[in-house]
Every structure is written in structure tokens, then in C-alpha cells.
Structure 1
């Protein structure tokens, strides 16, 4: 039996994208197998607002499909809350309906800054999306995120909170998060009553939220060059999932449930290339069913102390070329896109969760292409502490970009 205290102890650690890479390990290393179970998608959101309209394909990326004024939130005093449904694009280039929540401060003025904040989302159920969690008693959001977001709101910034895992809760699909983030900004700027059409835009996120942020910055030039993104602050970003996989091994892990969740999420996004479910044994399929609509705690409880080998049909660890291509396609170090906006990047000198050399290589590539990058290392004992240590500097850096100051660089 898994102790509740153990789950609480690992909840913070579970927010790290090590688990995304662990999930990819499942995909890459199970090898070829016989046809079996189909991908297991989340139960449809019971709220019809989240459903895709029949004419979705006729909309352009970022087009607003619907808006809904939301009840006020006590942790954001005075802020107006607007839920926006918009057209975005999945990893296969197909249209999807996605959502973002925009917080408008009391002292808002037209054209004031818009910050897109990519929250860390661990979950496979639609109810795990930020737009839903905002209206639950989630202590992680209230205790950790709300004070930071209130700082932004007090400065007169509007804040967009995209549900960057998409309608299928494709946990682990980093590139998808970047596309949804960019389209969420487009949509927010197309809602006239929000007064954001001329606003400068900043991007911010750490770890899993940093992945969505970093991918949005890297994809902007090709996907949304018209956006006036003045800067992207991204911390603790896993830049190369392939290297993470190679360094992980197959030991049992206390938070393996999120590793499995990432594999399931990636299968949802890449069902042909990553047929994870086909290669699961009965134990794996049973756990998959338990967590298919779960959020962090349910996923942790179901997978604690397990490993890939516990859930695979075979011990044959044959790498699948299609799976590897998917992993590479979600690794920024291997992506040739160059950000249009300046970058603030922070991480620890040594991080047990992510390969730091991949960050350094990506930064060097950006610098060589002329991007203004300020990359900082914080002496820190762990991944979570680095998030806290770098947050004040990240906020100050974004504030300076909104004020029009030239971006510093240590390239």
C-alpha cells in the first residue's frame, strides 16, 4: 500500500518533466508487438463549452470560437475572468478546439501587457486543466501560483492561462503545448472587450510549463510571426528527451505513475507512431484504466514504485524508429526553429532531472543565430528550488521587456 504521506512528499517532485521523459521511455523501449488495445482517451468534458464546433476546420488558428464570463476568483481579488475557446492545431497539423483563461486586472488599460503563463499540469483527465482547477481547492495553485499571478495583475498586466495539454489531455506532448500557447495569445488579442489587440506579449513557465513556453518561443517564427512577443522566460526546461531517456534506465520509481501518464498522453497525440497500449500486459492495462481520467494524486497512487518492465508484455527492449522520431520531434535541442523574441533561461548547474548540456547547446545555437539570450545558473539543491530562486529575476526581466528596455545577453 502507498502511504498518503509518501504521495504528498512526491507531489512537488512529480511536477517535473523528468516524468514526461520517463513516459517516453515506455514508448521507445517496448519495441514491436502484436495488435492489442487501442489508445484510451479521456472522457469528454461534460461542459458543452469545451466541445469542438462542427465547422471547426473552417476557422483559422487562433480564431475565437466562443467566450464565457466566469465567476470571480477569491484568490485574484478584483480580477475579471474570461474563458475563451479557440481554434488551434495538434501535432499532426489537424484543427482542434482549445481553451485559455484570461485574468483582467481592476486597473486594466487597453494595450497594457499580456502575459501568457504556462502552468505545470500533471493529468490525463479533462478536469485537470487549469480552467477547471481554478475553481477547485487545489493547494498547489492557490499557495504557489496565486501570489505570483497577483503580482502581475497588480502591475496592470492581463494574464492568460492556457490549457496547453489540449482537449485530449496529451500530457507529455511538448510541441503541442507551444502551438496551443501561441493560439491562446492570438485568441485573447481577438476578443475586443479584453482590450489586448495592441498589447505586447510575454511568455513565462517553468519545467512542464517551461516546455510549453520554450516551444511557443521556438515555433513563433514559423507559426505566429505576427504576434508581438517581447520576451520568453523559460526555466528548468528539458531540451532533449532522447538524452533524458538514455540516462534513465529501468529502475522502479516512486512517481512512475506520472511516467506512465506521459506515455499515455503521448499515445493520444501520436496514436500511430506510439501504440503504447498494444504493448502493455494486463497489469499495465489495468493501471492505464485507473488513471485515464486522473489528476496528479490518482496517478501517483496508481503507479508508485513501479517500472516500465512491470507493465510491458515483453522484456525485449527494442527501440522503435517511429517512437524515436516522435521523441526527437519534441526535443528542442534537435528542433531547428529560432525564436524571434529574446529569451531569459534559468536552470541549476547540475540537475538530476534534466540534461544541462542540452540547455547549453540550445542556448549556443540561439546565440549563434543572433537571439538575445540571458542564461543564468542558480546554485540549487534540486529542480524545485531552482524555480523559486529564478522566479524574481524572470519577473524583473519580463517587466523590463514590457517597459521597452533592450534585452541583455550573455551569449
Structure 2
């Protein structure tokens, strides 16, 4: 059985539950042969959305910011449940709606794998690429792909971009847009520990423990086994917790933990060969901008085709919304085979909503969304 082979296909048992934007698309869910970080076979799920008047030559692989270590948070389930536990997927369905309005197919893989391994580099990348292989079979073998992800979704997309030439060279990927990127896991953990997003520490420790037995053993030596939650609930439940001080005392000094944090971080790794767009807020309370600067310096020194759009406004979650029009505009240019202006471009803007072309995309999407909403209303009911 080959990697990327489709094992089962179904139409979802219930409609996609999107509250912020209409999702007008035919949907399928696929079971796909993939593998974990060690080459052991596994099975992942992926969702495919086909909009009206779809262009089968263009497929957007959208990696959701699941950022959790439990199967209840997987995108294939979250887009159908509409529950508070997986509230962040509602924001992402608004982004996906904008991509669908362009006539692109959208592929949403459960890239953390069956064990919910977050943030584990290889299994994330392998899952993304094997889902793309399955999408080629299901939609169009000659299709071109783009990748888009925010936060943990950007992490998975970045690793797929890095490993693609060796792992899946047959895939035609025009570019990857990475927002709120997790560059350095240690730096992120230090940044959020004791703050409003401290629950990410638990999700990261449990998620890496799900993939690496040695890592799990290192955590268990502290004698604690904290409960997993989806992203929003983890933030609420563990709000303000100081894990490195009060719970897992000095765990950041543990040699095994440091090894796996570094192994799965992007710094010091090979730059992607395909075009990259990075958008990030300057005052980012999760992923420090200083780590983004280091990564861009390294990738540019390696000759990467890269555009960096820095948003001078505040907040990781705000940037998820303000940066998406820029990301989709940039990806559209890649699908249309427009040349990037230079090898390494760095721009600063008061907001990424000011990115050239963003306003046109927003107007088009709002008009399209309004049209879909109005067409679904029966005025005579």
C-alpha cells in the first residue's frame, strides 16, 4: 500500500457548521495511508471542499491551527461539530470561505496524525504531503498546490515545504504562506508560560509526548500528567499557570526536553526551495518576532525566495485575521505564475490589511458572501 493512497471516501454525516462565513461547497472526507516520524504506517483523515465553478488545477492545502494534543480537536471533526471546544476553527472557516470564493479546491488535512502529535515536525509534514498526494488522485493529477497555515498550521506547512523536495518531489507546489509561525518551540514556551496562553505549554508537552516515547518518559519523571484540552479550553483552564516554576519545575533545563524542542524547531534547518510568504505581528505574545528575524536571516542567506510582511500592530490572534487577505492575495499571484520581485523582500506595514491587493480581495469576498447568504434565504417562507 503506497503513501498517499486513499483507503475510504465518504461525504460528511452532517453539514459543515460555519457561523462567521458561508461555506458553499461539496465536501468529502478521505482516509489516507500515511506514516509517523519513524516511518511506521498510520492512517490520517483529510477533508476536501469543492466550490461552485471550481478550478481543478488549483488546490489550497489549508493547515488549521489545531495546536492541541487530543483527537477531539481534529479539523475533520471540528468543522462538523461547531462546539465551543473547537471555536478557533470558526475563524479558519471564514478564511477557507475566502479561498473557496476564488474557485480553489481546499484540502484540510488532520496533519497531527492519529495520536495528535503537536508540534512534531516530520509527522506533520508527511501528513500534509500524503494528503496532497491523495488530493491529486481524487481531484486532478496535474493540479498545482499552494499551502496556507497560521500558528501550528504554519509550522506544519513550513516543514512540508522544507521536506517536499526529498519526500514528495512529484507535487507541484507554487508557494506557502505562513502566518504567526512557530519558529523556536523553547522560545514560544518561555513566552507563554505564566500568561493567558499558558495552556499551550501542556498541549506542546503532551503532543510531543504522543510522538516521542523518550520525551513522554522525561515528562512523566516529574510525576504529573495534566489533562489535554483543545486550544480555547486549554487557555481558559490553565490561564496564568507558571509551569516552569510551579508545576514542572525547571523542565526547560531537562536535556531530553531541550533536545526534542530543538529537533522540531525551524532554526538551523534547511530553507525551503519553493516561494515563501511570512506574515507576523511585531508585538506577538506567542511566537516572538525576534525568532522570526533569525529564521528569515538564515533562509535568505540560503537563497530562499521569500517575502516577509511584518505587521506593526499587536496580537497573535488579531494578525490571523488581518494577515489572511495578504496571504490569499500572495498565493493567487503564485497560482497565476507572477514573478516575485526579488529573492528576499522585507516590508513593514501598520497593518497587513494594507498589503497591496488585500482591499480588493476583501470586497470580493464580502460581496460573494452576501450573495450566498441572500440566495439561501427563502423570502416567501
What is the TM-score when the length of structure 2 is the normalising length?
A: 0.80
Does 1:349 pair with 2:282?
Answer: yes
Alignment match, 1:31: none
Alignment match, 1:159: 106
Alignment match, 2:97: 150
- Higher strand fraction (1 or 2): 2
Using the alignment, how far apart are the partners of 1:73 and 1:352 within structure 2? Answer: 31
User: Alpha carbon RMSD of aligned pairs, Å?
Assistant: 2.4
Using the alignment, how far apart are the partners of 2:233 and 2:92 within structure 1? Answer: 21
1:117, 1:203 within 8 Å by CA — same for their partners in 2? yes
Shift in Å, 1:78: 3.9
| Equivalent position SS for 1:404 | coil
Shift in Å, 1:150: 1.8
Alignment match of 1:103 (pick from 42, 45, 49): 49
Alignment match, 1:325: 259
Alignment match, 1:87: 33
Q: Cα deviation per residue 1:184-222 (whole Å; 9 max; x = unaligned)?
A: 11111122xxx3221110000111111111111111122
Q: Cα deviation per residue 1:264-310 (whole Å; 9 max; x = unaligned)?
A: 111111112442442233xx33xx2xx24x32354344423322243
Does 1:387 pair with 2:345?
Answer: no
The number of aligned residues is: 337
Alignment match of 2:3 (pick from 51, 58, 61): 61
Q: Gaps (5+ residues) in structure 1?
A: 1-58
Alignment match of 1:73 (pick from 16, 19, 29): 16
2:149, 2:179 within 8 Å by CA — same for their partners in 1? yes
1:65, 1:87 within 8 Å by CA — same for their partners in 2? yes
Alignment match, 2:165: 221
Shift in Å, 1:236: 1.5
Alignment match of 1:169 (pick from 109, 116, 124): 116
Evaluate the alpha carbon distance shift between residue 112 and residue 141 of structure 1 in structure 2; reply closer, same or farther with a 3 A threshold: farther
Q: Gaps (5+ residues) in structure 2?
A: 345-381
Shift in Å, 1:142: 6.5
What is the TM-score when the length of structure 1 is the normalising length?
A: 0.75
Q: Cα deviation per residue 1:137-189 (whole Å; 9 max; x = unaligned)?
A: 24635752223212221221100111122101123324432221111111111
Evaluate the alpha carbon distance shift between residue 248 and residue 383 of structure 1 in structure 2; reply closer, same or farther with a 3 A threshold: closer
| Equivalent position SS for 1:81 | strand
